[in-house]
A and B are shown apart, each in its own frame.
Chain A
Amino acid sequence: MNVHEYQAKALLRAFGVPVPRGELACTPAEAEQAARALGGGLVAVKAQVHAGGRGKAGGIKLAKSASEAKTTASEILGMTLRTAQTGAQGKVVRKVYVEAGSDIAREFYLGIVVDRASEKLAIIASTEGGVAIEEVAERSPEKIISVHVDPNLGLQPYQVRRVGFGLGLNVELLAQLQAFLAPLYRLFVEKDASLAEINPLVSTQDGELLALDAKLNFDDNALFRHPDVEALHDPDEEDPRELEAKKIDLSYVGLDGDIGCMVNGAGLAMATLDMIQLCGGAPANFLDAGGGADKEKVEAAFKLILRDPNVKAILVNIFGGIVRCDLIAEGVLAAAEELGLGVPLVVRLQGTNSREGREILAASGLDITPAQTLAEAAEKAVAAARAG
């Protein structure tokens, strides 16, 4: 789960990580007020959307006075921000964060991630602050400092020194880095984060370290024990269909093709999308109904797929292991009867009770195209979508 910059900074502040002073504003008037409360001097007005690259896209602007902050906020609020991470449709800005300006001496990158390869927490730092770390890794990998922390031992002082001396910090700033990293690490593990990115981390002319930008991601699997983090969820930032799917415990990702897919199991669902594309078609969605899909799930999945106006055909691909294909067939029939099938339906049932399932579908009299293999199912769905 992602959170906004202003939410991330509130969490950082609560854990004792130094961040600039700032306030949230939803209207230009609020932005003016916020700027005044921050002293009336230089502020940054920052669009609050879940996407990187906001600065380049015009979502972050400086204002020298409170009245200028108002004008700037009126420009940013309501704009559709398009960055490399938002895709072509962009994201509408509903909130801005007004932050006291900082007197920047140097910019760095600092991040914590779960490193899958080493099975440790990795602290990543670089003197190349303010640019995407992937670019730095590509262009000049020698400028990346990476320190692996054993989660059972926690962050050690020598590891902070490795980061600090690696960044070329002086002894005063090194002490500040310890005071910065220790609470950041504590926040990461206590709140089950999956990514913490401070980019840029800045040193000021006064010799302070500050988190100028902050991005936090949290592990969805651990939200059950962090209701405070879950409360930060912003539904405006998500595809409404994905939200709907989550509520009924289905895994759904909207895509831009015209073949609706319902599959049990994530791997088989991905493979089904691959198969459709190999046959020259384009899937409308990824949908994993789960290894334990039942009649109710199938019905709910159908409703979700049919809400997409682009869908011209539906492909159901079930490999019954634990799931019984006869129950899936009943779910398909119930959904078809309730919702009315406006589009061709291709169903492939394989595995446990697949023969019974196929018989149920055949006996229904509904216009359902059966398929035996994965390839046959995809070919038939692609042909149906083309004809539709």
Chain B
Amino acid sequence: MAILCDKNTKLLVQGMGRMGQFHARLSIDYGTQVVAGVAPGKGGQTIDGIPIFDTVRQAVSVTGANASVIFVPPAGASDAVLEAADAGLDLAVCITEGIPTLDMLRAKNGLRGSAMRLIGPNCPGVVTPEQCRIGIMPAQITRPGPVGVVSRSGTLTYEAVDQLSRLGIGQSTCVGIGGDPIIGSTFTDVLALFEADAETRAVVMIGEIGGAAEEAAAAFVAKHMSKPVVAFIAGQNAPPGKRMGHAGAIIAGGKGRASDKIAALEAAGVTVARSPADIGETLAQRVPDLVA
């Protein structure tokens, strides 16, 4: 089952620049159905065997695409998100880093009432092992199994997934929700999907400093999650007021500290690994029978 995407997902690519083309190829190699590319003004061409369309609506009507991955540069990225929603897609995953916050704020409010789920922006994407790769994750480190992974980070997600795979613990779906202040789907949204997914038996959640999404997730876990959750929070010693790489990773006005997030999660019954090297091990101890 998995969440968000599987072998039946028909993916289109918005933004067929160098990065879009490169990752479309990797996704095809992984077995993903990449059915269309969208590049305004290049409709009718074919790139790497992928038919190109001028608009998302055209691409959908011809190919039956139901998901999109967005590589459009920052200035046009929120427009691409809204175009995807207008075309009736089920899912859009926005990889673009550096989108103005107010653009995303308007787009996010504009998406209310739309049936499309947005993941990202500024995220590594979504992988359902051996079925579908959307985005830029190195899918070869994943293996199929019962653990859902959700994270605000990119490479730290790879680190965690790698730890799981090396322990013989496979993943149902790995989701990078993105490091920006305003994102399409929050921890809470993705936790709800994992809770409802029959294949997922436990969840690994990787948060970081800034905002209060981890605290909101803790409240959701306490109320609605029956499945065990293990977490790690990056930036335990980050200085306040400094943006740590991600636009959203900043301790502002005494809010967003790792210690507060860890306390909230632990109070909600989440097991929090103190060391980033122990994420996989912490899960293996909490749920011993996950190892395949």
Seen from chain A, the residues whose Cβ lies within 8 Å of a Cβ on chain B are 85, 114, 116-117, 119-121, 133-134, 150-152, 189, 192, 194, 219-222, 224-225, 251, 253, 255, 263-275, 277-278, 286, 288, 291, 319-322, 350-352, 373-375, 378
Most buried by A among B99, B103, B158, B212: B158
Evaluate contact between B101 and A114: CB separation under 8 angstroms: yes
Evaluate contact between A270 and B209: CB separation under 8 angstroms: yes
Selected interface stretch from B52-60, B193-201, B235-243? B235-243
Inter-chain contacts of A114 with B (CB < 8 A): 101-102, 105, 181-182
Question: Residues 223-255 of chain B: 1 if any A CB is under 8 Å from the residue's CB, otherwise 0?
Answer: 000000000101111110111111111000110
Inter-chain contacts of B234 with A (CB < 8 A): 267-268, 270-271, 274
Q: Say whether, besides A119-B105, A267-B234, A270-B208, A291 and B181 are in contact (CB < 8 Å).
A: no
Counting contact residues on chain B (CB < 8 A from A), the size range is 35 or more
Evaluate contact between B162 and A120: CB separation under 8 angstroms: no
Bound: A321/B174 CA distance, A: 14
Return A238 CB to nearest CB of chain B, in Å: 11
Inter-chain contacts of A274 with B (CB < 8 A): 234-237, 275-276
Q: Say whether, besides A116-B182, A253-B242, A265 and B275 are in contact (CB < 8 Å).
A: no
Inter-chain contacts of A321 with B (CB < 8 A): 124, 136-138, 154-155, 158
Ranked 3 nearest A-B pairs via Cβ: A267-B153, A266-B245, A265-B155
Residue of B nearest to A277 (CB): B237
Bound: A351/B159 CA distance, A: 9
Bound: A255/B181 CA distance, A: 24
Inter-chain contacts of A268 with B (CB < 8 A): 153-156, 158-159, 234, 276
Q: Is B263's beta carbon under 8 Å from chain A?
A: no
Which residue of A194, A288, A320 is within 8 Å of B245 (Cβ)?
A: A288
21 A-B contact pairs sorted by A residue (CB < 8 Å): A85-B241, A114-B182, A116-B182, A117-B212, A119-B105, A151-B105, A152-B109, A152-B110, A251-B245, A255-B239, A265-B153, A265-B245, A266-B208, A266-B246, A267-B151, A267-B153, A267-B156, A291-B155, A320-B138, A352-B138, A374-B277
Which residue of A119, A194, A253, A278 is within 8 Å of B239 (Cβ)?
A: A253
Q: Say whether, besides A152-B106, A152-B109, A253 and B154 are in contact (CB < 8 Å).
A: no
Q: Say whether, besides A267-B246, A374-B276, A133 and B102 are in contact (CB < 8 Å).
A: no
Evaluate contact between B100 and A221: CB separation under 8 angstroms: yes
Q: Say whether, besides A151-B105, A321-B138, A350-B162, A270 and B212 are in contact (CB < 8 Å).
A: no
Which residue of A220, A265, A373 is within 8 Å of B156 (Cβ)?
A: A265
Q: Is B274's beta carbon under 8 Å from chain A?
A: yes
Main secondary structure of the interface of A (DSSP, over half): mixed
Inter-chain contacts of B98 with A (CB < 8 A): 221
Bound: A119/B98 CA distance, A: 18
Evaluate contact between B75 and A270: CB separation under 8 angstroms: no
Inter-chain contacts of A251 with B (CB < 8 A): 243-245
Inter-chain contacts of B211 with A (CB < 8 A): 116-117
Bound: A375/B162 CA distance, A: 14
Which residue of B100, B136, B181, B254 is within 8 Å of A222 (Cβ)?
A: B100
Inter-chain contacts of A255 with B (CB < 8 A): 239
Inter-chain contacts of B102 with A (CB < 8 A): 114, 151, 189, 192, 219, 222
Evaluate contact between A273 and B155: CB separation under 8 angstroms: no
Seen from chain B, the residues whose Cβ lies within 8 Å of a Cβ on chain A are 74-75, 98-103, 105-106, 108-110, 124, 136-138, 140-141, 151-159, 162, 179, 181-182, 206, 208-209, 211-213, 216, 232, 234-239, 241-249, 253-254, 274-277
Bound: A134/B211 CA distance, A: 15
Evaluate contact between B154 and A291: CB separation under 8 angstroms: yes
Evaluate contact between A120 and B109: CB separation under 8 angstroms: yes
Evaluate contact between B247 and A220: CB separation under 8 angstroms: yes
Q: Say whether, besides A119-B105, A219-B102, A267-B151, A286 and B253 are in contact (CB < 8 Å).
A: no
Bound: A114/B253 CA distance, A: 13
Bound: A114/B109 CA distance, A: 13
Evaluate contact between B158 and A221: CB separation under 8 angstroms: no
Return B25 CB to nearest CB of chain A, in Å: 12
Evaluate contact between B208 and A267: CB separation under 8 angstroms: yes
Residue of A nearest to B213 (CB): A116
Return A212 CB to nearest CB of chain B, in Å: 21
Q: Say whether, besides A274-B235, A319-B162, A219 and B100 are in contact (CB < 8 Å).
A: yes
Evaluate contact between A271 and B276: CB separation under 8 angstroms: yes
Residue of A nearest to B279 (CB): A271
Return A139 CB to nearest CB of chain B, in Å: 13
Bound: A105/B18 CA distance, A: 61
Residue of B nearest to A119 (CB): B108
Residue of B nearest to A286 (CB): B244
Q: Say whether, besides A114-B102, A133-B253, A267-B206, A253 and B237 are in contact (CB < 8 Å).
A: no
Return B47 CB to nearest CB of chain A, in Å: 19
Residue of A nearest to B26 (CB): A322
